[in-house]
Structure 1
């Protein structure tokens, strides 16, 4: 499973958040694309429209389990995708900003 650490991500790297709506509302990485894992197959077209054509898709969830499943699915579709190790917990723990649905400081739930 291709994996990347939070410290290896640069500002502006494409981030796909596959957590559920309540988790996203509480706190997420600003600029991430949100498609819950439970809706992913039905909403796959949103990813193909938003993802950079020649770039990597960094997939994140709360701790890394759901994002690992989506990363495997994307790899099977021929997309350059990696799982973000430790998920949003690692993101927040490393001091990266987390915002809520209103753009204010958020929390990982």
Structure 2
């Protein structure tokens, strides 16, 4: 398997296609506006939801699940990079987030 590229949250372009592989409750608490949500365990069955011609920036809470997802996507013909530090680093960097539950978005 090829080495997956890791990028810090500060290097994610503002127009990047972000794939969030966290669980539903984590997504609802806070996520990147416009991101696509596909929990890690649903990724194989929802591969059709992804555009194989689009570069994906994969994110989770801290970087572990997104690393596995990016490796799996690359092995299946997609172009994916792992967002180092995940949503925790996103929040710390003060990057914009939205919540599905009302109130201040947060990272669980």
Q: Counting strand residues as a fraction of each chain, which structure ranks higher?
A: 2
- Provide TM-score, normalisation by structure 1: 0.89
* Structure 2 SS opposite 1:73: helix
Q: Which segments of structure 1 move beyond 2 Å, counting only runs of 4 or more? A: 102-105
Q: Which range is displaced more, 20-29 or 94-103?
A: 94-103
- 1:25-64 equivalences under 5 Å are 25-48=28-51, 53=53, 55-64=54-63
* Partner Cα distance (2:49, 2:29) in 1: 22
* Partner Cα distance (2:103, 2:81) in 1: 28
State which of 3, 13, 24 in structure 1 corresponds to 2:16. 13
- Provide TM-score, normalisation by structure 2: 0.90
Structure 2: which 5+ runs fail to align?
A: none
